[in-house]
Structure 1
Amino acid sequence: MRLRGKTAIVTGGASGFGAGIARKFVAEGAKVMIADINAEAADAMASEIGGLSFGCNMAMSDDVIALSEATLKAMGQIDILVNNAGVTHLPQAMEDVTEDDFDRVIAVNAKSVFLTAKYIIPHMKSRETGCVLNVASTAGVSPRPRLSWYNASKGWMITATRSMAVELAPLGIRVNAINPVAGETPLLKSFMGEDTPEIREKFLSTIPLGRFSTPEDMGSAACFLCSEEASMITGVCMEIDGGRCI
């Protein structure tokens, strides 16, 4: 029960890595608000694990404000913020990515972090305590070809994590990130372009441990970094990648 008494927001928490993090947090004693653009899926996940849910678009300021207000009304405080909501574009030459797809990737992967910093972190500042976890990617460390703008958005998140950590440390707020390798989530097919045994084998060949990451892997790492066991850790971007970035 490493998170007993803590409250947390997990964005993109209805599926994939976010769902794995939300499940682990509840299992470790936290009260969790699952924020997701798919409100129906968020409701279902909240019912399954015993959490709360809120349907919202994390790239829209009004939605993030409403999420913050709803969480504070329901829970009284926000101890942990997990910025997990994310999207990608299909693998293709950088110049072939449409402007709409580029804008969507930057809005969800980057602007959402700006908006939670603007509308949720002030609450943490007022209490002089809190923990932020950004879900970045190995793509921001060791980019794969034909995913240029997704790679760039995750590189942005890694730099943002370090900058936020330096700025917020004197206020008692820790900021870290996890860098997952490709995993068994709804985004996997988008990363690969198409899901075939041959393409899976090509991806797996780049991961020394020989398997994709799982939501459970991310939940375990997130729980550690957001617990008091990691009270001296801030500004870290931890690869959860089976050795891919070695």
Structure 2
Amino acid sequence: MFILQFVFDLTLLPGLAASVLAAIMAVYLIIIWYRQENRLMTDLPLMFGIVFIAHAINQTMVLLSEYGYLEMTLEVFRMRALIVGGIAVPLVGVLLHIWLPRIRKHHLRIIGLVIVYWVSILLLGPTQELIMLLHLPIIIFFMGGMVLTFAITWKTGRLKEVRSDLMVVSSAFSFVGQAGLVAFMAIGLASVPAMITAISTAMATLALVNPWYKVEARSVL
């Protein structure tokens, strides 16, 4: 029994390490945002920093639940849904930042409405299934919107300060990690999605920092 538990702990460790790595990169993005001269609450580094932190916490909860360290009761599920909201809501800010900069003064109001809807569902939903059912369309919509957005900016070159090609690949990795979560858990490899998420986070961080753009900007000057 001890040996079996030890093996499980070793299996869990890579996933937890990947989640910690994702959180570290998220903090790095938030620091970059904080050091900017003109900071907005919908700036990409801040939004993605929040997304990555929430992603890391959510992934950790999934791992702990899979290996029996955390019982997924309705109360715990509500908490997890709140954390997942930390992924969905900032993506609203990202899409608003990119596509609707002219109504910037209304961005926080729109985000506030999304937060009210999200929290209302997770507090009032009587079952896990219903909460997921009502939250899932929002997640799919905004994740799809992100992929489409960066695919367009990649082709058009509209968002030069971000490596849109890396963001598209990162989004694809993230989708694979989330879509394959159940399958990986079924064969005892719940840590794999966490590691895929860490790779996705690293690529997205590199895309947002975009050292190539900074070098190009200096060469122009």
* TM-score of the aligned structures, taking structure 2 as reference length: 0.36
Structure having greater relative contact order (Cα 8 Å, sep ≥ 6) = 2
* TM-score of the aligned structures, taking structure 1 as reference length: 0.33
Larger radius of gyration: 2
Name the structure where strand makes up a greater proportion of residues: 1
Name the structure where helix makes up a greater proportion of residues: 2
